[in-house]
Structure 1
């Protein structure tokens, strides 16, 4: 079920990106708003929205709902192993080889 939601999330996000990129912005025709017979608003009048606007709204709503659902699924999963028990399972040895000492300084030196 989680994998299905992830695949749907990916498809919706790609469709949402594509729809936003192909839409014509309101500010793109701002020059036409001044003296071109537009209404009194700065960016022209906007109606109820066309097909692209409505589809973008639906996809954005689905995107947010799926984000919440996937977050809920992730929160309920068990936490991954962070490896902290590895350090507790390593045996600690107390025997060490006697260190060689330098004749002059009595400083242990490597083999």
Structure 2
């Protein structure tokens, strides 16, 4: 199971890096107005409008792979083979008995009360 988790994690990281690169390569919507006035974008590798379609579809595919890897990692980490079943269904329920020392009967020492406050302007005597 650990091998599969490592493999899915590597695929997730590669998809994330590819998605970051694809988003950085794409140009914004405002750049299309400059291309219509002849800024030289028609001589690109994918043509005048082909790059936007190819890059946006590639980004969508990378995002889908990233989300599938994220969901599969969450599923695999929640159902790891060999883990002892616990009675609590959440992390807070499982951690509550260990983090509550008062529930085990231990006494918490009392803080001594401060001395009685004297009237303003008087010097306290001992």
Which position in structure 2 is the counterpart of 1:90? none
Q: Distance in 2 between matches of 1:2 and 1:64?
A: 15
**What is the match of residue 11 of structure 2?**
8
Distance 1:70 1:4 in 2: 10
TM-superposed CA distance for 1:2, in Å, is 0.8
- Count of paired positions: 88
Q: Return structure 1 stretches of 4+ with deviation > 6 angstroms.
A: none
RMSD over aligned Cα, in angstroms?
3.9
The answer to whether structure 1 residue 67 and structure 2 residue 75 are counterparts is no
TM-score by length of structure 2 reads 0.46
Cα deviations by residue, 1:51-79 (Å, 9 ceiling, x for unpaired): x111111111111111110110111134x
5+ long unaligned stretches in structure 1: 34-45, 86-111
Runs of 5+ in structure 2 lacking a partner?
37-48, 84-94, 99-126
Q: Alpha carbons of 1:32 and 1:19: their partners in 2 closer, same or farther (altered >3 Å)? A: closer
Q: Which has the higher contact order (CA 8 A, sep 6+)?
A: 2
